[in-house]
Amino acid sequence: MPPTIAPRTPGSSPRAGANRFALALASSLAAVLVVAIAYQFVRPEPGEAVGVGEPVVEEGGVPAWIQPILAEPDESQRPALVPRLPEGVKLSILEGREEVLVTDPWVYFRRPENRSRVLHWREHPDGEFVRATGVAGLRLTGPLPAQRPEPLIVLTGDSHMDGVCAEDETAAAVLEANLALRPGVEAVRVLNAGVGQYTFPHYLAVAWRYLELAPDVLVVVVFGGNDFGAIDSVEAELAGEPEPVRPAGYDQHIQRVVKTKLAGRRGGASLWQALNQVYLFEVQPELETRSVERSLVYLEEIDRMARARGTRFIAAYLPPMHDVREEFSRNLYASLFKELEIDESALASSNRVADAMLAGLEARGIETVDARPTLREWPGHLYWVADEHLNTVGHRLLGELLAQRLAEPRAGE
């Protein structure tokens, strides 16, 4: 098994120098237009299904090399941090979402396999995109080969990695396409196991499952907007315990934000992608420290399991929109700050938890990638205004950044 990805020959990058500058300028101009249009015309409910596309179907049957993840898990090997759901417990995330999420014995829930929907999206260059899944609900760039790909990469994350875009536009697909241009790794495949609502316990569950394939690389993309704030409630539900108690007035503030309109849609998108966690850490500051501590517990366990399989593990950090486009976000969130009765300075918690997590990982000898510098350098907009998920340009930049890292040998090699 190759320990890293073969580097490209010097000077052969497909997006370098003048090309990158031209793309940056064009993206910047386009982003201004997109944001202006989005403020007026983005639908209150973006992502409405308007048709059926083509799913990724394994016409020759599911390849034998991926069969281990389709079998029932060996419960004797279940990590202690991935508890089996108590009998009769149904996760709240699944209620009313049976068409887009299914239960799974390894990772609790995932996308249904071999499904495809055409989703309306005004900000997308095409005005819509196809969201398709293949075997095990993975978002794939095409049918899997009969033989195990060399190298094989598994990437997971939350809805940002799942992607509010087409399969070939996700960061995972961009990573795959960029690596395939490098000599010796043209057959690379990236299994995109990202799913909306995933956080640290789910990332460990994904690692437990997909390390059965002994991949060459495992990438976990942590989203700084909500992954940390969700830990205590997710852990409680998975253990069959009551929802954590929040301070008096918490729910009322949240409901006011959900009903507030901004940028042609309701404030719920801003709440779930960033402000819920920001508000939580403002009213319960002890949870900020605890969430970092718990994140390190999960990521350290993933690293231990990956090392046992000889898999290179990378923990990448993806910031929320307000840590990339600060002035734009402050203006966008102005009315929401009033509803939550907090100051814009509360947004700083996202950077604090990111810095603390990355420092903790580096102290443990775990390889990291911080996407903040790369995304902040880009002059254009990198997140959809409609729901604050990473847009197609953001996916491209993240995928290229990961490809650049994988071209480098890991420390000690």
Residue range 288-327, pLDDT digits in tens? 999 999 999 999 999 999 999 999 999 999 999 999 999 9
Count Cβ atoms below 10 Å from residue 358 Cβ, excluding itself. Answer: 20
* Residue 44 DSSP label: S
Instruction: With CA atoms as reference, report the closest residue to 277 among 265, 262, 259, 295.
Output: 295
- pLDDT at 53 (0 to 100): 59
Q: Are 136 and 67 in contact (CB under 8 A)?
A: no
- pLDDT at 193 (0 to 100): 98
- pLDDT at 99 (0 to 100): 86
| Residue 124 or residue 36, greater confidence | 124
At CB < 8 A and 24+ separation, what contacts does 402-405 make?
A: 402/155, 402/171, 402/175, 402/219, 402/314, 402/316, 402/369, 403/5, 403/174, 403/175, 403/178, 403/179, 405/314, 405/369
- Please state the φ and ψ torsions of residue 102, each to the nearest 5 degrees: -130, 155
Q: Are 343 and 271 in contact (CB under 8 A)?
A: no
- In whole angstroms, give the CA distance from residue 177 to residue 188: 9
- Please state the φ and ψ torsions of residue 110, each to the nearest 5 degrees: -160, 180
At 153, which amino acid appears?
I
Name 184's Cβ contacts closer than 8 Å, sequence gap at least 6: 6
- The pLDDT > 90 percentage for the chain reads 79
Summarised one tens digit per residue, pLDDT across range 260-270 is: 998 888 899 99
- pLDDT at 47 (0 to 100): 56
- In whole angstroms, give the CA distance from residue 43 to residue 26: 25
User: With respect to CATH, is domain 19-47+151-406 assigned 3.40.1260.10?
Assistant: no
| Distance set, CA 386 to CA 34, 85, 167, 399 (Å) | 11, 34, 19, 22
pTM for this one?
0.87
* Residue 169 DSSP label: G
Report residue 45 as tokens.
């409910």
Compute CA 319 distance to the chain's CA centroid, rounded to the nearest angstrom: 10
The arithmetic mean of pLDDT across residues 359-367, rounded, is 98
